[in-house]
């Protein structure tokens, strides 16, 4: 039996225990914000762990995930920071959505397939004035959460640019860098302030829709990385895989253009030039786009982690989004469509029967066009 949520002390000492906190005050007036992280996985534990230095954080997750944290505590590695260890008895862990009731801010960090469930957990449980922030990949999660939560609470979009992987039970490793981004709305200010205090770079953006589309272009590599079985640095260092990504991005850019969206430039590469730069020979690519390869040797895409753990992936919200957008405008996106089939097959076969896709993946995708 997994124990239900406990009111254990939080990571960092607080002025007073959270249960004594008057609910009439708001954060900022000398008290720490109360943050619930809905979806305690790679991103949720990473952000929740870092923010717990400056806020009262509850991690809401699946019983099995919470058991791991109870047994091992939470350790955060990488990201250019010293390793941070939070012993289990200083974490606040919950398996019930009832834990959301106390929060000023709920960070939603479930995979896109879990957004409907997260919306159900949130509906009717938020305290007056509480805000919801989706830190998920994909384009439609904030709108889905907004529909579930209703008009009484703001729901804003955020974006996590870097990679986090659970490398051992309770150990979450940040393998690349970049600033978090958050919609420049009043509801995002509390997170922006808390993140800054916790030493996390964060940008408030007035073009979140374009940011989400820019991130989608990057995430088209998730499936390729997962199928390759290689760490990101090795995979992106290989022209054959980069050309697969270039094919996917060309289709996506055409669909986005038809949809009237100019994706924001998020990395070193200018968005419209990305497919051409990706297709350059390895040495030239390394010289021109060294920043694109600034991922450490351990980093892998979250889709790889899903397949490795035998979970459904977010392929419908990534390649699936491109295929649907293209179809709305009478365009085809065959390379993206083929990747959906390949990822589906990998989901079906499970981790034990996995075969990795070598550079011949390019031939497959080219043939699909
Ligand atoms: N990992 C990464 O490097 C990055 C991920 N992202 C995005 O961030 C989001 C989160 O990704 P990631 O952290 O990797 O995902 P994980 O799968 O590691 O974590 C999500 C966790 O939330 C759990 N969960 C789902 N629904 C609920 C619920 N209603 N209540 C409690 N727990 C729930 C999941 O359990 P279960 O599996 O049983 O559903 C899972 O344990 C995704 O949209 C992803 O694309 C963005 C940037 C980088
Ligand atoms: C950071 C990045 C692009 C890494 O692949 C990612 O978003 C993911 O893995 O889901």
Which residue has the CA at smallest separation from atom 16 of ligand 1?
Answer: 41
Strands 155-159 and 180-183: antiparallel
With a 6 Å cutoff on the Cβ, whether 65 touches ligand 1 is: yes
With a 6 Å cutoff on the Cβ, whether 61 touches ligand 1 is: yes
Mean pLDDT, residues 91-108 taken together: 98
Helices 361-368 & 208-228 angle (0-180, nearest 10): 130
Nearest ligand to the C-alpha atom of residue 174? 1
Indicate which atom in ligand 2 lies nearest the CA of residue 305: 9
Q: What is the pTM of this model?
A: 0.93
Indicate if the pLDDT at residue 185 is higher than 80. yes
How distant, in Å, are the alpha carbons of 99, 221, 228, 329 from that of 242? 43, 8, 11, 26
Pocket test for ligand 2, best of 42, 134, 158, 163 (most atoms within 8 A of CB): 163
With a 6 Å cutoff on the Cβ, whether 21 touches ligand 1 is: no
Nearest ligand to the C-alpha atom of residue 61? 1
| 280-328 confidence digits (pLDDT tens) | 999 999 998 888 888 999 999 999 999 999 999 999 999 999 999 999 9
Nearest ligand to the C-alpha atom of residue 312? 1
| 3-26 confidence digits (pLDDT tens) | 333 334 333 333 233 333 434 455
- Kindly indicate the confidence band of residue 174, based on its pLDDT and cuts at 50, 70 and 90: very high
Exposed / middle / buried, residue 309 (Cβ in 10 Å: 0-12, 13-18, 19+): exposed
| 137 C-alpha to ligand 2 centroid (Å) | 8
| 338 C-alpha to ligand 1 centroid (Å) | 25
What is the per-residue pLDDT for 356? 81
With a 6 Å cutoff on the Cβ, whether 218 touches ligand 2 is: yes
């Amino acid at each position: 039996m997994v124990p239900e949520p406990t009111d254990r002390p939080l990571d960092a000492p607080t002025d007073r225990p959270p249960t004594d906190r008057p609910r009439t005050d708001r954060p900022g007036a000398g008290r720490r914000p109360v943050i619930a992280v809905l979806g305690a996985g790679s991103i949720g534990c990473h952000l929740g762990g870092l923010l717990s230095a400056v806020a009262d954080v509850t991690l809401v997750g699946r019983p099995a995930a919470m058991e791991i944290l109870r047994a091992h505590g939470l350790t955060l590695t990488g990201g250019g920071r010293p390793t941070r260890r939070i012993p289990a008895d200083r974490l606040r862990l919950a398996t019930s959505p009832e834990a959301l009731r106390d929060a000023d801010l709920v960070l939603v960090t479930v995979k896109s397939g879990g957004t409907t469930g997260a919306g159900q957990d949130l509906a009717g449980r938020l305290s007056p004035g509480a805000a919801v922030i989706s830190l998920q990949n994909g384009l439609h999660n904030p709108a889905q959460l907004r529909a579930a939560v209703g008009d009484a609470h703001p729901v804003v979009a955020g974006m996590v640019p870097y990679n986090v992987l659970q490398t051992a039970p309770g150990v979450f490793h940040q393998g690349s860098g970049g600033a978090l981004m958050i919609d420049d709305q009043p509801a995002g200010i509390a997170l922006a302030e808390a993140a800054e205090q916790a030493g996390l770079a964060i940008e408030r953006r007035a073009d979140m829709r374009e940011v989400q589309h820019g991130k989608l272009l990057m995430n088209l590599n998730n499936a390729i990385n997962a199928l390759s079985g290689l760490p990101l640095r090795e995979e992106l260092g290989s022209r054959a895989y980069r050309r697969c990504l270039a094919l996917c991005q060309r289709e996506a850019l055409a669909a986005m253009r038809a949809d009237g969206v100019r994706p924001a430039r998020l990395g070193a590469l200018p968005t419209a030039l990305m497919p051409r730069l990706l297709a350059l020979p390895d040495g030239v690519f390394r010289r021109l786009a060294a920043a694109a390869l600034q991922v450490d040797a351990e980093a892998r895409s979250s889709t790889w982690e899903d397949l490795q753990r035998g979970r459904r992936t977010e392929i419908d919200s990534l390649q699936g989004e491109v295929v649907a957008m293209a179809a709305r405008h009478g365009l085809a996106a065959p390379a993206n469509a083929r990747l959906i089939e390949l990822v589906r097959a990998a989901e079906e076969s499970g981790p034990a029967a996995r075969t990795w896709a070598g550079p011949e993946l390019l031939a497959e995708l080219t043939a699909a066009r």
